[in-house]
Chains A and B, each alone.
Chain A
Amino acid sequence: MLKNYIKLAFKVLLRHKFFTFASLFGISFTLMILLVVTSVFDHILGPTYPETRLRRTLYVMDLEIKGPEITKRGSVGYYFLNKYVKSLKTPEKVAITSFMNRMISYNDQQKLKIIMKFTDSVFWEIMDFNFIDGKPYNNEDVSNVNPVAVINETTSEKFFGEESALGKFIEVDWKKYKVIGVVEDVPILRLLPYSDVWVPVTHTKEDITSYTMEGDYQALILAHTRSDFKKIKQEFKKHLDQVEFLDDQFDSIKGGADTFLESISREMFGFDDSQVYLIIGIMISLMILFMILPALNLVNININRIMERYSEIGVRKSFGASSITLVGQFIVENIILTLIGGGIGLILTIIVLSILNNVEVIPLANFTLNYRIFVFAILISIFFGIFSGVYPAFKMSRLQPVDALRGGQR
């Protein structure tokens, strides 16, 4: 029976070429947009290189400090992170890293713009970098202010060509660092780990030991498991309550150890409400809305398509098809249509992603279709198939056989 349905489905598709084209275009184009967007999101937010431990990482990225007359909100200083975040007991590890610093470097008298980050040694333990050569700096290098650096592959090629960079010196911001490690490039969309050069945090020009609440640093908190998140957040809150203020300008502080999404929600909604569920809700709603529009269009196309098949419905009912069998038949046809659309959508996505990668719209970005996105695509295709097929199929299956044979008129 299934073979017969499939055979008929292909014939129906070929019979109404325009309807088929409209349906397939709708499905494949929508799916392509969705897949490209999810691929980009996956690239930014997913647990990919070098943030493979992302799912059990929390971040302290900004603070709100309030006083009777003034409120300041922004990124955090090293002193604060070192005193109130590093001292947390629940996490497995806590690392501190600066944001990106644009620096100037010279290679053979050629001026180069370099992104540099100042980090502690734990940064290398939380991040899962692939070392092509050498190793990261350790706590001793940081404490002793050793002039060592880890550079990425592209910087290594820029400065040293094909030769190994290990042991060679790189000059950034008028300071010479010995290269002790070369890592695989990190896509620029991975804002936290991305850099060209990493050096021990003790090399920064500012005095990191002096009292500063504000600054250009962030903390990465690695939990033993995700179930520790709540405990870590509570512990951090307690630490915030113990913050000392050196002058009367400020008297309260707000902040949080957040997941990546939570930190986005803080950006959007402020510190009073960490409405991460609202963000997720908005994202899911937009995605559903985006999918429902073409699905409604498909329902409409399907109603027209099925209306032309009243006679067939009547014949099948006359010869023993029950309503449920017919609903099954039309859903099979629709699923075939949507799976074809899904397949075309996938191919289009692969083409678009490879174009995005090749023209380097985003430097070092490598958008890929992984198995999660593939499964997502298949599920979406089936959702389309069922959603757009059930209503028209159910509507026509309710007809008395004689009404169907008459062309749907009572």
Chain B
Amino acid sequence: MIKLNVVDKVYRTDTIETTALKNINLQVEKGEFLSIMGPSGCGKSTLLNIMGLLDKPSSGKVKIEELEVGTFGDRKLAKIRNRKIGFVFQSFHLINDLSVLDNVEIPLLYRRLSGKERKGRALEVLEKVGLSARVKHFPRQLSGGQCQRVAIARAIVGNPEIILADEPTGNLDSVMGAEIMDILMKLNKEANTTIVMVTHDIHLAEQTQRIIRLFDGSQVM
């Protein structure tokens, strides 16, 4: 599903060069639920961003469903992100000016769908995450757990095959964190969605099928 081959990521400024990822080789299979662990600053989020085409590697190859994306332009990358990948961020990244329903509809705006179809699909996924009663609310009127459920609804509304979650429970208490984890587990089992999750929490990571550990930008066993 996702294949990384000898991926490096180096950040350069005028005076300093920082290696965020070094020689990463990774293959994620379809339907797999994988977690990435490691100390802060070890490159977990960078790896996830490269897998999700939100960032470009300095060298190495990234393949999504056997498609080598290194040479793809902005439009093609945008299309892959739209059709194949859903993101869940630690800080939710909801648009405060839009209602819950409008936030969830965002990925569908970039597809050829009517307003009615978009609304129908968004309501469907909001029901799945238990937020049917909050569709007209705005993000600031919701709790952290509810915000993350909206973010999950937004990530899955376009039926992507891959969900990339960057510390999805990082800003939540343990009860809410467990709720979010349940939703992700259910998605993986019922819809066979491939999920890659960055987490600091070993208890959450242990619930996934495989754990990848990073240290100073390198993969460790």
Contact = CB atoms under 8 A, between A and B. Distances in A.
Given A401-B54, A402-B54, A402-B55, A319 B97 contact: no
Contacts of B105: 4
A401 B50 CA distance: 11
Contacts, number: 77
Interface string B88-109: 0100011101100010011101
A205 interface: no
A317 B54 CA distance: 8
Given A322-B74, A325-B110, A315 B95 contact: yes
A324 interface: yes
Given A4-B102, A8-B97, A402-B49, A319 B54 contact: no
B52 A318 contact: yes
Nearest to A309: B95
Contacts of A314: 93
Interface stretch (B62-70, B78-86, B128-136): B78-86
A323 interface: yes
A372 interface: no
B93 A317 contact: no
Given A318-B52, A405-B93, A3 B115 contact: yes
A12 interface: yes
B87 A318 contact: yes
B97 A321 contact: no
Given A7-B102, A318-B52, A324-B75, A405 B89 contact: yes
A230 interface: no
Contact of A320 (B11, B56, B82, B89): B82
B93 A320 contact: no
Nearest to A312: B95
Interface residues of B, number: 31
Choose among A12, A311, A314, A322 the residue with the greatest number of B CB atoms under 10 Å from its CB.
A322
Given A4-B109, A323-B74, A324-B75, A318 B102 contact: no
A288 interface: no
Interface in A375-410: 400-402, 405, 410
Nearest to B89: A405
B83 A320 contact: yes
Nearest to B106: A319
B55 A320 contact: no
Contacts of A321: 78, 109-110
B149 interface: no
Given A3-B115, A400-B55, A402-B55, A320 B74 contact: no
Given A11-B97, A314-B93, A320 B110 contact: yes
A320 B81 contact: yes
Contacts of A12: 97
Nearest to A400: B55
Contacts of A11: 97-98
Nearest to B98: A8
A1 interface: yes
Contacts of A4: 102, 105, 109
Nearest to A314: B93
B54 A318 contact: yes
A316 interface: yes
B154 interface: yes
A319 B110 contact: yes
Contacts of A324: 74-75
A15 B97 contact: yes
A405 B93 CA distance: 8
A185 B34 CA distance: 87
The 3 A-B residue pairs whose C-beta atoms are closest, nearest first, are A320-B82, A320-B110, A322-B78
Given A323-B78, A324-B74, A400-B55, 7 more contacts: A3-B115, A8-B97, A312-B95, A315-B95, A317-B81, A320-B81, A402-B54
28 contacts: A1-B110, A4-B102, A4-B109, A8-B98, A311-B95, A312-B95, A315-B93, A315-B94, A315-B106, A316-B106, A317-B78, A318-B54, A318-B81, A318-B87, A318-B93, A319-B82, A319-B86, A319-B87, A319-B106, A319-B107, A322-B74, A322-B79, A323-B78, A401-B54, A401-B55, A402-B54, A405-B54, A405-B93
